[in-house]
Structure 1
């Protein structure tokens, strides 16, 4: 893993033009009709201390499943294809679906890839980062139904297959597959799903991996999120706050463990702090200086437990950073952007599709 860092990032965003609105005419007059599908292609350029430089493309579209349904948020579907200079690659399809006047919400995610990453080992003669490579296939689906106003409940299923090899045989190679069932509860009072300016989202998920559906060992995970949004400057800006908790119970496989980093706490990209569970607090101010562009500033702190390095358990790991946002779609407030953050002896860059939370 490179220890000397190249930090010279010039990030240009360019977008394919959104198709012009179609016009419909009758015998008396013509009138504009909002198109049903907004399509755009975003380039992906990033750097990560584990994966090195990353290049790719992300075509996305926003649409209404039923054009007469003006209550449901627009659905989002996209593909991402990313290649890295450490010879990793990822191809994924992501879908967020809203229909029947927001009575139903569904998500579908499919991904294949080969990740060449690293993790920290201290119970060997030479404590250091050691590389590993994981070929993975992941598929997940969830469906939620509104029970009463703002309250949703649903079920989900996920399948994962991992083939992992470790550098210097620090651990034996492993092939792992998991089948997970998911119970979901969510309370959502946000005024928008893609860029909320006020309201709350409370989401609780219980994932179980029982032996009777093909898992080698049983395990459970509890994932919790609490996001709150405060409007500022007459609703132009937003202060967002978040608590995230990921709790692994039972025999958590190496590939199922969590690492400090990503959306939970930005500023960590080495993959050093890994364990069975994680808790994090964050706050982010979103400053919009015009209709298409904005800046964000954020700070947070995280902790983990269940690490192979016991000294890492229950430590405090802060992160702080700034970011840039650009509105990706003409008819919907949906941002992409780039974040830069520093943590405890680490740092990271993050290409964003949507907000961090």
Structure 2
């Protein structure tokens, strides 16, 4: 039986997507606050997940200018998250997004370590069911992009992950594995702002290669595509956002490189049940703002997967819908944190957010 992937639900959902967005003046405020060199805040973290149970921790983060004379680049973002769960899992992560040289260069660095006590679905036994497992993991992800023409960025990246997994009742042998991934990426970004866009497009295409000569047990490729579109509503106070996302596994895709429905790819799935070699989803979200620091969101979408070990899961439609609350985390920058609640097909989830879902 294949090895089980460590899914860093608590890390990927709130942090990874926060890298790809930046500053905006509050469209509701009539007076712009004085720009500070560094904005610092500490956010408490309280959440619940059907797999990890109750989670709590703290997230100190700051927004800042790498060069105070650079008036074009958005502010950079750095933070640390430390989270502990009732089922004795823990996660520590550092997330960084840097903008510099008048926004001609963009870079990001993500580091994480932790121990996840979770579950996975097994159907090739007498009684199909979820089984517990524990995985210790370390992850590194770095990428660098250069603007080649207006709004078009091209870059390279590297991703490393190491997993040490043990299974309940020895349903599978314990395993130790690692992956080394090389990345080429292209992004077209015409958004008016990156942390809270009100109009424009973000089109992103990434090719990830896991060659055997680079220390991988199995050679594999993945293509990840994203298209996010933003429409201003109510004279620019609110935003309607739409998203297409496709993750396509090519060749011999190992379990560790499969994708799972959940998180930013259709909220409402927290059990990690539906996973396969590829995933396609469509989403829409309305972002309603009131007051100077608060807002509400409503969202819905559909996803499908292929290449699942459970053949009956392939090419079925998996809906998800929900609502959430937003709160402005920084005084001088439009950057939201919040909490989403969503339901899916036989599943549901709560999601603490740093930045928007997309």
Asked if TM exceeds 0.5, the reply is yes
**Distance (whole Å) between structure 2 residues aligned to residue 35 and residue 341 of structure 1:** 36
Mark the runs of 5 or more structure 1 residues left unpaired by the alignment. 1-31
Higher RCO structure (Cα 8 Å, ≥6 apart): 2
Residue number in structure 1 paired with 2:309: 308
Residue number in structure 1 paired with 2:11: none
The answer as to 2:80 corresponding to 1:79 is yes
Residue number in structure 2 paired with 1:182: 183
Residue number in structure 1 paired with 2:48: 47
Residue number in structure 1 paired with 2:326: 325
Q: CA deviation at 1:70?
A: 1.2
What is the 5 A alignment of 1:157-306?
Answer: 157-306=158-307
Q: CA deviation at 1:33?
A: 6.6
**Distance (whole Å) between structure 2 residues aligned to residue 212 and residue 200 of structure 1:** 37
* 3-state SS, counterpart of residue 262 of structure 2: coil
**Distance (whole Å) between structure 2 residues aligned to residue 77 and residue 128 of structure 1:** 40
* 3-state SS, counterpart of residue 44 of structure 1: strand
Mark the runs of 5 or more structure 2 residues left unpaired by the alignment. 1-32
* 3-state SS, counterpart of residue 213 of structure 2: helix
Cα deviations across residues 25-83 of structure 1 (Å, max 9, x unaligned)? xxxxxxx9743100000000000000100001000000000011111110000000000
Is the 1:282–1:301 Cα contact (8 Å) retained in structure 2?
yes
**Distance (whole Å) between structure 1 residues aligned to residue 242 and residue 92 of structure 2:** 31
Decide which moves more: 114-123 or 344-353: 114-123
Cα deviations across residues 242-301 of structure 1 (Å, max 9, x unaligned)? 011111123333232211100110000011111111111000000001120000000001
Is the 2:34–2:332 Cα contact (8 Å) retained in structure 1?
no
Q: CA deviation at 1:306?
A: 1.1
Residue number in structure 1 paired with 2:113: 112
Rg (Cα) greater in structure:
1
Is the 1:162–1:255 Cα contact (8 Å) retained in structure 2?
no
Change (3 A) 1:36 1:273: same
Is the 1:273–1:312 Cα contact (8 Å) retained in structure 2?
yes
**Distance (whole Å) between structure 1 residues aligned to residue 165 and residue 258 of structure 2:** 14
Residue number in structure 2 paired with 1:129: 130
Is the 2:218–2:254 Cα contact (8 Å) retained in structure 1?
no
Q: TM-score, normalised by structure 1?
A: 0.90
* 3-state SS, counterpart of residue 296 of structure 1: strand
Residue number in structure 1 paired with 2:29: none
What is the 5 A alignment of 1:132-151?
Answer: 132-151=133-152
Is the 2:294–2:328 Cα contact (8 Å) retained in structure 1?
yes
**Distance (whole Å) between structure 2 residues aligned to residue 287 and residue 125 of structure 1:** 49
* 3-state SS, counterpart of residue 255 of structure 1: helix
**Distance (whole Å) between structure 2 residues aligned to residue 196 and residue 268 of structure 1:** 26
Residue number in structure 1 paired with 2:92: 91
**Distance (whole Å) between structure 1 residues aligned to residue 260 and residue 133 of structure 2:** 15
Decide which moves more: 33-42 or 344-353: 33-42
Decide which moves more: 333-342 or 251-260: 251-260
Q: TM-score, normalised by structure 2?
A: 0.90
**Distance (whole Å) between structure 1 residues aligned to residue 113 and residue 256 of structure 2:** 14
Q: Quote the RMSD (CA, aligned, Å).
A: 1.0
**Distance (whole Å) between structure 1 residues aligned to residue 167 and residue 198 of structure 2:** 45
Cα deviations across residues 162-218 of structure 1 (Å, max 9, x unaligned)? 111222222222111111000000000000000000000000000001011111111
